Amino acid sequence: MSAQTLSFARRLNSWYRRHARDLPWRQTQDPYKIWISEVMLQQTTVTAVIPYYEKWIRRFPDIRSVAATGEQEILKMWEGLGYYQRARNLHRASRMIMAEYDGHLPQRVGDLRRLPGFGPYTTGAVLSIAFDQRHPIIDANVRRVFMRWLGKEGPATIIQDGGITEVLMDVMPQRNLRTFNQALMELGALVCKNKEPLCHMCPLRNDCRAYASGMQEIIPSREKKEFVELDVAIAVASRRGRYFIQQRSAQGLLAGLWEFPGGKLECGETPTQALVRELREELDVEADDIVPFMRTRHFYTRFRVHLHVFTCRFRGKPRPAGDHRWISKAGFKDYPMPSGSAKI
């Protein structure tokens, strides 16, 4: 082991022992629980994940229990975390693991990469954290740490990962890999932050090229995120104390979820006009007693969606393209919905 490797790992691990957060998935070496946490943490903050993780583990304590459950319940348990394809992949992978690996997560790269949802990051996380194998993990935090440490200018994209992986393998120790990789991610989350990094607290600052040149605030370069603004009219239609919901198609971003009917405003339309048009086009019904109910907004991927919600009654029998239900207020707990509909 080189002096650089020994120094890097020792400094990093020493810092981690003193500053690591006490997180529920760090109290276990169960590969299943580590896998669940890593999937949830993709695109979601640690604070938001903790209650979902704890609820999930109570309901699904092992791979067998996930595999034995229907997709709709899986999606309902995931409701609010977003990026629902993660949940579908987790469900499909669990069934494959039961069928092909007797309910145990495999420990080889090739076997893991065959499973739905196991890209380079998830594969590396499971092999390293669950099985303590010498495998790199590169997430946004690790990418930022190494770009600054190496003084690599430019945006923090996966294009950088080839060079980072090579250096990461050079400084990675031969043992206790779960600690090393978690320490790197923790350093990026707590110290080497995207904005206003806390360089005075960093164990790697003495040989960090960005810090030495005063460029830690501009490495990596930040691209302004541009949101596409969407206005959507939504109908909360009632009939004898029940409410109409419909299921989205099996394809697409929110596949299989349930929602209130409605759609995007076209150029020049008011929300009320859009609602009337959408109900005619989607369900072949007219809307009576249209009353503004609420306005809210939510974000997904690159969209900022403004929801204009109305209560109304249908005139005519709705004829949706897919499945639909009239449900009571209590029944909403059984149907997974996108975040926008769940706010209503």
Of 152, 289, 206, nearest in space to 10 by CA? 206
Final residue of a domain: which of 212, 236, 251? 212
Contact 166, 206 (CB under 8 A): no
Q: Are residues 290 and 141 both part of a single domain? A: no
Task: Identify the pLDDT of residue 222.
Answer: 83
Instruction: Give the pLDDT score at 3.
Output: 55
Overall average pLDDT of the 311-323 stretch: 89
Last residue of a domain, one of 154, 185, 212: 212
Q: What is the pLDDT of residues 130-150, one digit of tens each?
A: 999 999 999 999 999 999 999
**Residue 167 pLDDT > 70:** yes
Quick check: is 222 in a domain?
no
131 plus 49 within the same structural domain:
yes
Whether residue 324 lies inside any domain: the answer is yes
What's the pLDDT tens digit per position in 213-240?
999 999 999 877 788 889 999 999 999 9
Which of 38, 79, 186, 278 is catalytic? The answer is 38
Q: Name residue 309's beta-bridge partners.
A: 234, 294
Which of 212, 237, 271 is the endpoint of a domain?
Answer: 212
Q: How far apart are CA 82 and CA 61, in angstroms?
A: 22
Based on the fold, state whether residues 189 and 88 are members of the same structural domain.
yes
The reply to whether 268 and 195 lie within a common domain is: no
Residue 148 lies in a domain: yes
% of the chain exceeding 90 in pLDDT:
78
Structural domain that includes position 31: 3-212
Residue 37 and residue 181 in one domain: yes
In the predicted model, is pLDDT for residue 76 greater than 60?
Answer: yes
Query: Does 196 lie in the same domain as 54?
Result: yes
Burial of 72 (0-12, 13-18, 19+ CB in 10 A): middle
| Residue 221 forms part of a structural domain | no
Q: Is the pLDDT of residue 1 over 50?
A: no
Measured from the Cβ of residue 5, the count of other Cβ atoms closer than 10 Å reads: 15
Torsions phi, psi of 165, nearest 5? -60, -40
Mean pLDDT of 103-132: 96
The CATH number of the domain holding residue 248 is 3.90.79.10
Mean pLDDT within 337-342: 84
Question: What distance in Å separates the CA atoms of residue 291 and residue 150, rounded to the nearest whole number?
Answer: 59
- Model pLDDT, residue 6: 65
Does residue 253 share a domain with residue 182? no
Among 264, 261, 233, which residue's Cα sits nearest to residue 319? 261
Q: Is residue 223 part of a domain?
A: no
How does residue 82 score in pLDDT terms, banded at 50, 70 and 90? confident
How far is residue 74's CA from residue 79's CA, in Å, rounded to a whole number?
Answer: 9
- Percent of the chain at pLDDT > 70 equals 98
Task: Please state, in angstroms and as integers, the Cα–Cα distance from residue 207 to each residue in 148, 150, 151, 255, following that order.
Answer: 10, 9, 10, 48
In whole numbers, what is the pLDDT of the chain averaged over residues?
92
* Cis status of the peptide bond prior to 116, with omega within 30 of 0: no
Residues 271-280: tens digit of each pLDDT = 999 999 999 9
pLDDT at 241: 93
**Mean predicted confidence (pLDDT) in 111-118:** 96
Question: What is the phi-psi region of residue 289: left when phi exceeds 0, alpha when psi lies from -120 to 50, beta otherwise?
Answer: left
| Domain co-membership, 184 together with 247 | no
pLDDT at 300: 76
Q: Is residue 208 part of a domain?
A: yes
Domain total in the chain: 2
pLDDT of residue 71: 94
CA distance 73 to 24: 23
The rounded distance, in Å, linking the Cα atoms of 342 and 259 is: 8
Q: Is this prediction's pTM over 0.85?
A: no
73 catalytic residue (yes or no): no
